[in-house]
Amino acid sequence: MVVVMEYKMVLLAICTTLIMGSSIAKEAEVNSQEKTKYSKHWLLDEGDRTKRINKLETYLRGFDQPMLEVGQRYESLYQALQDENYDFAIYQWNKIKKTIENGLMKRPARRENAEIFLLNQTWKEVFDDISSKDKNTAWEGFDKATVACLSCHVAEDVSFVNNQPLFRLQRSNKK
């Protein structure tokens, strides 16, 4: 009787192992299929070159993303001036220019106003004002930059952008 019980236990253990092994193998197969179905290579997996480029253009969007970065850098520029960290302020001002130029690559229709209000003479004036490392002159440069931004937004018919806390960072908020 004991031998029969042991035999049944061994048989039960073997059956359980086979069932579990089969289940694990099936799960691995399903996971493998899902990995194939949901690749991380969303551009490389697109066989058609035009569709691949369209996906990339859609992902990169328009001028709003560069402007978001410009806003973040503008705020960092403000803080750098607060801290009298003129080298960091110059760094941010240079990056603002680069970000706008990169955005214009995507939206060339915005170039005219960007050049009129900022990229031509104003950018250099602000750069020189910050580079002076004189507190008052640097803040005058910041104010010029603010006026240029606000004016460009009006010219681009997005003046609603001007009504936000970012553009209240003016002389009245300085230490």
Is the entire prediction scored with pTM above 0.85? no
Q: How do the residues of the chain divide into helix, strand and coil, expressed in percent and rounded to 5?
A: 80, 0, 20
pLDDT, block means (10 residues), the chain with 175 residues:
66 68 66 70 88 90 95 97 97 98 96 96 98 98 96 97 88 55
Q: 172: how many CB neighbours lie within 10 A of its CB?
A: 6
